[in-house]
Amino acid sequence: RPLEKSLTSSHAHCAYVIVHQQRGKQCAACSTLLGDIGYYECASKNWICEACVAQVVTQIRFWEKLSAPHWLASYFPSPIVHKGIMFKNVAILFQASKFTTAQRFIEFSREDSAEKAFNKARSLQREVRSDWADIKVQVMVLCQYLKFSQNRQLGAWLLATNDIRLVECSDKFWGEGCGDGPNKLGRVLQEVRKLLKDGAIPKDLVAIRRF
C-alpha cells in the first residue's frame, strides 16, 4: 500500500505509527507479540510495542485520518463522558463543543462518526460560538484530557511515551502538514501527558469545563 510504504522513509530516532493486524510479529526490544491496537516501525529497530517505544526513539509521528486510526488520534474510538453525556470519540465531542445549546450538544452525541459530526458542524456554521477561534485549543486539551483520564489503558500508553515528541503529520494547523505546521495536536497531547503525570487539573482547564 502506498501509505504504508511511505511510513518506512527514515526520520532519525523516529517511530512511525502502523495500524493493522499482522499477527506473529514481535517487538524487537521485548519480544512481545504485536498486532493488536497499534505498534511502530522504526529506523533504528524494526517493530516496537507501546511499552518499549520511548526507549528507542525521540518522537512518534502519527496520522489523524488513517482508515484505522491510532490511539493517539482524535478519531480513535474511545467513549468519553462530558456533562453526563457520552460521545464516541474526541473528534465528535470537539465538534459538539462549537455550540452553546444543550440541544446541539445532545444531537452531536448521537453521531456515530467524526466525519458526520464534522459535516454537521459545517452545516451549522452560523451557530458556532463567536469565541471559538480563541478557545479551540483549550477545548481540545479538555477533550483529550477526558479521553486519556477516562480510558485507563490509553492513559497508561500515553504516560509510557515519557517525554518523547508527539507529531500529528497530516493537518496544517493541528499537525505539521508539509513540515512547517505548528503541530497543535501533538503539543496538546504532550500537555495532557504532563497533566496525567502530575495528577492535577489546572485552574484554566477547570474553567473551560463551563463551555
pLDDT at 2: 32
pLDDT at 47: 74
111 within some domain: yes
Segment 4-30 mean pLDDT: 56
User: Which is more confidently placed, 163 or 11?
Assistant: 163
**156 and 130 in one domain?**
yes
167 within some domain: no
**How many domains does one find in the chain?**
2
**127 and 207 in one domain?**
yes
**134 and 197 in one domain?**
yes
Tens digit of each residue's pLDDT (9 = 90 or more) over 30-46: 887 766 545 565 554 46
**75 and 52 in one domain?**
no
Last residue of a domain, one of 57, 75, 90: 57
Q: pLDDT confidence of 200, banded at 50, 70, 90?
A: confident
Q: Which of 3-17, 129-143, 144-158, 195-209 has the lowest mean pLDDT?
A: 3-17
**43 and 79 in one domain?**
no
Q: Residue 109 belongs to a domain with what CATH number?
A: 1.10.357.40
Residues forming beta bridges with residue 33, ordered by sequence position: 26
Considering 1-10, 54-63, 147-156, the range whose residues carry the highest mean pLDDT is 147-156
Alpha-carbon span 133 to 28, nearest angstrom: 44
pLDDT at 209: 56
Alpha-carbon span 31 to 37, nearest angstrom: 17
pTM tops 0.85: no
Helix (H) / strand (E) element for 87: namely strand 85-87
**43 and 95 in one domain?**
no
Last residue of a domain, one of 29, 57, 85: 57
Which amino acid type is present at position 21? Q
Distance of CA 136 to the CA centre of its chain: 15
User: Is the C-alpha dihedral spanning 105, 208, 127, 111 positive or negative?
Assistant: negative
Last residue of a domain, one of 57, 82, 104: 57
